[in-house]
C-alpha cells in the first residue's frame, strides 16, 4: 500500500490546482457590461444627455456598493443619432462588444427598434440573452403587444400618465369643456391623442380639433398655436417633449395663448423659461416633485445635484429609481459559471423593491412595467422650488402611490418565460 501513496498525492495536488484555477477564473470572468444606446446628438440630444447623466450617477452608486460578482459594472456608450436605423447598428455593436443590458429612453420610435432587435437576438441565442432596460420609451405597445420577457420599463406610459392627469384635472375642475389634442406623429403621440379622445365622454369635455406633427422636424410652431387659438379650446392636451415642446411653449408665449396646457413633460428644463408667465396654471403629470416629497425630496435633490450638477427632473428621477431596482436585483443575481445570466436576473428584478422619497417602486411581473408613484402638479409662483431662473415652479396638486396610479395590464401582453 505504501507505493500507492506517492502516485495519489500528485493527483490530489493536480485536482486542487485545477479547482483553484476554476475558482480564480470564476472570480475573474468577464464583468457585467451595460450599454447606453442613446440619442447623444441631434435635436433630441438634451433629453438623451439627461439619460446619460442618470445612468452614470446610478452606476457609480452600484459600483460603490461592490458592483457585481466582485467587479465594477462597465458602462459602454453609443450614439444612436436619434433614429431607429442608428439604434439598430449600435445595438449590434454593443452586443458584439459583450453588452449584457441595453439602456435607452429618448423616443418610443427608437425603443421600438431596440426591443425588437433584442427579442430577435435572444431567440437566436438561448442562454446568452440580453436585457433591454427601457427608461423612457412610453408608448403603450411595450407593455402591450410588444411585451417580452427580457424587456423591462422603468418609466410611466401613455395610459398611466393620462389616467392620472385627467383624473386630477377633472377633480380640480380645470379641464375645460373644449380640448385641443397636440401631439407628435409616432406611437407615443398617437397613444396620447387616442387617450385624450377616449377620456372625453367620462371627463365631460369635447375634443374640438387635433394635430399630429412630424417628430423633431418642426422649427416654427406659430401656425399650430394659431390653429389652437382659432379652435377656442380651453385646454391643450399634449404629449410633446424635447425640442417640440420647447418650441411649442415659445410660440404660445409669443402669441399670448390663453389656453391651459395639460402635459406629460412640462418639467423638462427650459419649458417654463420659454413659456414665461403664460405657463401659469399649466398642469404636468410626472414621476417626482421634490416639494411633494418634503425633507426626503430635498435630500434626494441635493445629493443628485451635488454629484451631477443637475437637479433631478423630467426623465431623471424614474431612470435613477429604476436603476436602483437593478442594483437590488444584482445583489440577488448569482453568477453562472462566473458569468452574468439574464435568465437569473429577471426573476431577481421582479422580486426587487426600493423606497423612494415618494413611495415604493417595483416591477409588475405580468408585463414588466414599473409600478411607481406619480404626481400631478400645476405651474405656480407659490411653488417651493423655482425652475429655469424664473419665479415659477411646479406646485404639487396630488400625489398617487404606485398602486393608485397604476393602469391595468393590457390583454395584448402575452408574457412568456423562456423554457
Residues of the chain above pLDDT 90, percent: 92
Q: How many C-alpha atoms does 27 have within 13 Å on its Cβ side?
A: 6
* Total residues found in the chain within this entry: 419
pLDDT of residue 30: 81
CA-to-CA separations, 205 to 168, 194, 308, in angstroms, rounded: 14, 14, 43
- The pLDDT of 340-352, averaged and rounded, is 98
* Model confidence at 7: pLDDT above 70: no
- The pLDDT of 267-295, averaged and rounded, is 97
* Topology annotation, domain 33-156+293-371: Rossmann fold (3.40.50)
Poorest-confidence range of 13-22, 69-78, 141-150? Answer: 13-22
Tens digit of pLDDT for each residue in 62-118? 999 999 999 999 999 999 999 999 999 999 999 999 999 999 999 999 999 999 999
| Cα angle, residue 83 at apex, residues 362 and 270 outer, rounded to 5° | 70
Q: Minimal CA–CA distance to 127: which of 339, 291, 333?
A: 339
Residues of the chain above pLDDT 70, percent: 93
* Model confidence at 15: pLDDT above 90: no
pTM metric for this prediction? 0.92
The reply to whether domains 33-156+293-371 and 159-286+374-405 share a CATH topology is: yes
Distance separating alpha carbons of residues 287 and 95, to the nearest angstrom: 31
The yes/no answer on whether domain 159-286+374-405 falls in CATH 3.90.1580.10 is no
* Model confidence at 27: pLDDT above 70: no
> Residue 21: which pLDDT band, with cuts at 50, 70 and 90?
very low
- The full set of domain ranges for the chain reads 33-156+293-371, 159-286+374-405
> Residue 419: which pLDDT band, with cuts at 50, 70 and 90?
confident
- When the pLDDT of each residue in the chain is averaged and rounded to a whole number, the result is 94
pLDDT of residue 234: 96
pLDDT of residue 395: 98
Tens digit of pLDDT for each residue in 158-168? 999 999 999 99
> Residue 28: which pLDDT band, with cuts at 50, 70 and 90?
low
Query: Three-state SS across the chain?
Result: CCCHHHHHHHHHHHHHHHHHHHHHHHHCCCCCEEEEEECCCCCCHHHHHHHHHHHHHHHHHHHHCCCECCECCEEEEEECCCCHHHHHHHHHHHHHCCCCEEEECCCHHHHHHHHHHHHHHHHHCCCCCCEEEECCCCCHHHHCCCCCCCEEECCCCHHHHHHHHHHHHHHCCCCCCEEEEEEECCHHHHHHHHHHHHHHHHHCCEEEEEEEECCCCCCCCHHHHHHHHHHCCCEEEECCCCHHHHHHHHHHHHHCCCCEEEECCCCCCCHHHHHHHHHCCCEEEECCCCCCCHHHHHHHHHHHHHHHCCCCCCCHHHHHHHHHHHHHHHHCCCCECCECCHHHHHHHHHHCEEEECCEEEEEECCCCEEECCEEEEEEECCCCCECCCCCCEEEEEEEECHHHHCCCCCCCCCCCCCC
* Model confidence at 184: pLDDT above 50: yes
> Residue 274: which pLDDT band, with cuts at 50, 70 and 90?
very high
pLDDT of residue 3: 39
CA-to-CA separations, 217 to 131, 250, 281, in angstroms, rounded: 31, 16, 28
- The pLDDT of 22-47, averaged and rounded, is 81
* Model confidence at 18: pLDDT above 60: no
Distance separating alpha carbons of residues 48 and 242, to the nearest angstrom: 10
Tens digit of pLDDT for each residue in 204-217? 999 999 999 999 99
Residue 185 and residue 216 in contact, taking contact as beta carbons nearer than 8 Å: no
* Cell numbers representing residue 277 in the block: 408667465
Amino acid at each position: 500500500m505504501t507505493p500507492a501513496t506517492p502516485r495519489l498525492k500528485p493527483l490530489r495536488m493536480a485536482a486542487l490546482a485545477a479547482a483553484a484555477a476554476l475558482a480564480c477564473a470564476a472570480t475573474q470572468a468577464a464583468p457585467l457590461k451595460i450599454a447606453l444606446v442613446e440619442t447623444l446628438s441631434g435635436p433630441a440630444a438634451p433629453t438623451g444627455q439627461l439619460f446619460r447623466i442618470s445612468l452614470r450617477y446610478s452606476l457609480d452608486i452600484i459600483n460603490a456598493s461592490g458592483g457585481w460578482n466582485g467587479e465594477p459594472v462597465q458602462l459602454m456608450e453609443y450614439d444612436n443619432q436619434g433614429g431607429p436605423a442608428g439604434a439598430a447598428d449600435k445595438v449590434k455593436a454593443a452586443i458584439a462588444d459583450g453588452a449584457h443590458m441595453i439602456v435607452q429612453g429618448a423616443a418610443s420610435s427608437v425603443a421600438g427598434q431596440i426591443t425588437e432587435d433584442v427579442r430577435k437576438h435572444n431567440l437566436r441565442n438561448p442562454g446568452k440573452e440580453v436585457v433591454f432596460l427601457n427608461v423612457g420609451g412610453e408608448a403603450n405597445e411595450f407593455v402591450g403587444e410588444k411585451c417580452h420577457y427580457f424587456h423591462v420599463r422603468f418609466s410611466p406610459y401613455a395610459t398611466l400618465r393620462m389616467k392620472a392627469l385627467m383624473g386630477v384635472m377633472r377633480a380640480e375642475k380645470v379641464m375645460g369643456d373644449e380640448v385641443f389634442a397636440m401631439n407628435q406623429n409616432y406611437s407615443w403621440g398617437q397613444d396620447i391623442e387616442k387617450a385624450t379622445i377616449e377620456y372625453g365622454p367620462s371627463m365631460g369635455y369635447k375634443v374640438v380639433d387635433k394635430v399630429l406633427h412630424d417628430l423633431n422636424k418642426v422649427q416654427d410652431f406659430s401656425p399650430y398655436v394659431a390653429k389652437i387659438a382659432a379652435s377656442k379650446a380651453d385646454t391643450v392636451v399634449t404629449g410633446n417633449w424635447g425640442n417640440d415642446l420647447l418650441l411649442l411653449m415659445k410660440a404660445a408665449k409669443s402669441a399670448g395663448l390663453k389656453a391651459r396646457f395639460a402635459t406629460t413633460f412640462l418639467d423638462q428644463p427650459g419649458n417654463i423659461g420659454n413659456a414665461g408667465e403664460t405657463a401659469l396654471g399649466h398642469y404636468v403629470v410626472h414621476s417626482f416633485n421634490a416639494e411633494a416629497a418634503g425633507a426626503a425630496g430635498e435630500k434626494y435633490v441635493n445629493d443628485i445635484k451635488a454629484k451631477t450638477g443637475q437637479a433631478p427632473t423630467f426623465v431623471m428621477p424614474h431612470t435613477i429609481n429604476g436603476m436602483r431596482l437593478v442594483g437590488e436585483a444584482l445583489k440577488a443575481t448569482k453568477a453562472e459559471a462566473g458569468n452574468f445570466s439574464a435568465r437569473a436576473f429577471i426573476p431577481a428584478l421582479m422580486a426587487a423593491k426600493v423606497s423612494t422619497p415618494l413611495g415604493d417602486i417595483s416591477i409588475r411581473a405580468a408585463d414588466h412595467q414599473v409600478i411607481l408613484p406619480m404626481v400631478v402638479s400645476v405651474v405656480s409662483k407659490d411653488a417651493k422650488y423655482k425652475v429655469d431662473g424664473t419665479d415659477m415652479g411646479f406646485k404639487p396638486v396630488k400625489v398617487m402611490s404606485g398602486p393608485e396610479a397604476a393602469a391595468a395590464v393590457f390583454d395584448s401582453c402575452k408574457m412568456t418565460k423562456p423554457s
